[in-house]
Amino acid sequence: MALTWPMIFANALIPLVGVIDTAVIGLSGDATDIGGVAVGGMVFAVFYWSTYFLRMGVTGLTAQEIGAGDRAESQRIVARALLIALVLGFTFLALKTPISALAFNVLQGSETVETKGAAYVSARFWGAPAALGLFAVTGWLIGAGKTRLALMVQAVLALTNAALDVWFVMGFGWGPAGVAAGTVIAEWLAFLLGLALVLRAFGVNRAVLVETLSLAQLIDPAALKRLFGLNFNLFLRSIFLTIGFSWFINAGARQGDVLLAANQVLLQFIMVWAFVLDAFAYTAEAETGRAFGQRSIADLRRAVRLTSEFAFACAFGFGALTLFGGGWVISHLISDPMVREAAIVYLPWCAAVPVLGIASWQLDGIFTGATRSAAMRNASLASLLVYLGFDALLSPGGNGGVWAAFLIYFVARGVSLLVAYPALERGMTKPA
């Protein structure tokens, strides 16, 4: 709990960015404004979350190197990840126009929703380098067990974003573009703070720069091969997950602007609980990684048991809180009566997600710490195929079918990883 409680607050602040975006738009705009942020956010998320491997890979590798007693290599891991993050971020920024054009040709929202979504995307891509760099620095802080510093970074991100959202949207009336602008500024500020905290933790001096972070050490072929091999599998895993969540949003768009907006509101509950519960998965990442670095199966099982007990208990509590308190939150945050009514109708489906999704989130953390990225890739692909099959079968029946298929997706993710867990333990007994 000492390691986890800062990450509970830090992770709660990550989706708070999206909640604040939705709330500000919900209080000042209509269904098309909320839908514009939803669709625009989905376009950006395809590229943003597909690079989440930077956070996951850095955490697992850092924890393993610290567990093995090689702190210098743990520092080189984040330096390599930062180089990759900045190159990818500036590449996304340079290609933002063709990326946006392609994405909106695929989507199925109304013309008004897509116009407002395009304004959001155009502004949001300016924060891509900072957002990706933030993945790398927070991944290192978590892997090194410096969870309070990770909390500080996320607090700056969320609080800055909240203040700027209110100022730009409700003060200046900039709409979805104002939401994106506030997020971009907050991301750059949080990234610079995170980078400073990492460098401070390094104790950077001339010896560190020459011996630890020298160019020859950073481009070591064996280390790069390990990093790219791990990250490529995590990249594919992230792509499959992004396709799944994007498919859910697009399935809502096919139901019309009101149901698209209602699903977007409910998705904010899911994002909050997913990130809060991920705090236990993050602790499992760090402790599993250290256990692998020490080749201790007893420590691995202890980390799995302790973090999972807390995670499952909280998941049931959050599900109940959503079911019985979610209606009050929706009624106070959403001004459009049709969106508000639709969101309350489908609230029970949303409340089931923490209970059915906790196994997948917790196992993700365990497999990340063990750096078993191939198993994560395979499980993500298998569960996505199951989801798409059930969505094709159930979504023609309406938004209830859309939600039923989405819940099956969470169950499939957990089962596919659970099947692979025995092989993870067997792999620990093999030589490093």
* Digitized pLDDT (tens) for each residue of the chain, 432 residues in all: 777 878 777 777 766 666 677 677 777 666 677 777 777 777 777 777 778 778 888 888 888 888 877 777 888 888 888 988 999 899 989 988 888 777 777 665 667 777 777 778 888 889 999 999 999 999 899 888 888 898 899 889 988 988 898 888 888 887 778 888 898 999 999 999 999 999 888 776 666 666 666 666 777 777 777 777 777 888 888 889 888 988 998 888 888 888 988 998 898 899 888 888 888 988 888 888 888 888 889 899 998 999 999 899 999 999 999 999 999 999 987 888 898 999 999 999 999 999 999 999 999 999 988 888 899 999 999 999 999 999 999 999 999 999 999 999 999 999 999 999 999 988 776 544
290 contacts 64 by C-beta, under 8 angstroms: yes
48 alpha carbon, distance to own chain's centre:
9
Neighbouring C-beta atoms of residue 55, cutoff 10 Å: 26
User: Using CA of residue 228, residue 151, residue 375, residue 273, what is the dihedral sign?
Assistant: negative
Neighbouring C-beta atoms of residue 316, cutoff 10 Å: 12
Q: 232 CB contacts (<8 Å, ≥6 apart)?
A: 373
In the structure encoding, which two tokens stand for residue 242, read together?
Answer: 């992004």
Q: Provide the number of structural domains found in the chain.
A: 1
221 contacts 34 by C-beta, under 8 angstroms: no
- Please give the model's pTM, rounded to 2 decimal places: 0.72
Residue 103's domain comprises: 4-428
3-state secondary structure of 142: helix
375 contacts 291 by C-beta, under 8 angstroms: no
Looking at residue 395, the DSSP 8-state letter turns out to be: G
Give the C-alpha distances (Å, rounded to integers) separating 172 from 167, 168, 313, 322, 377. Answer: 7, 5, 43, 33, 44
E runs forming strands in 209-256 = none
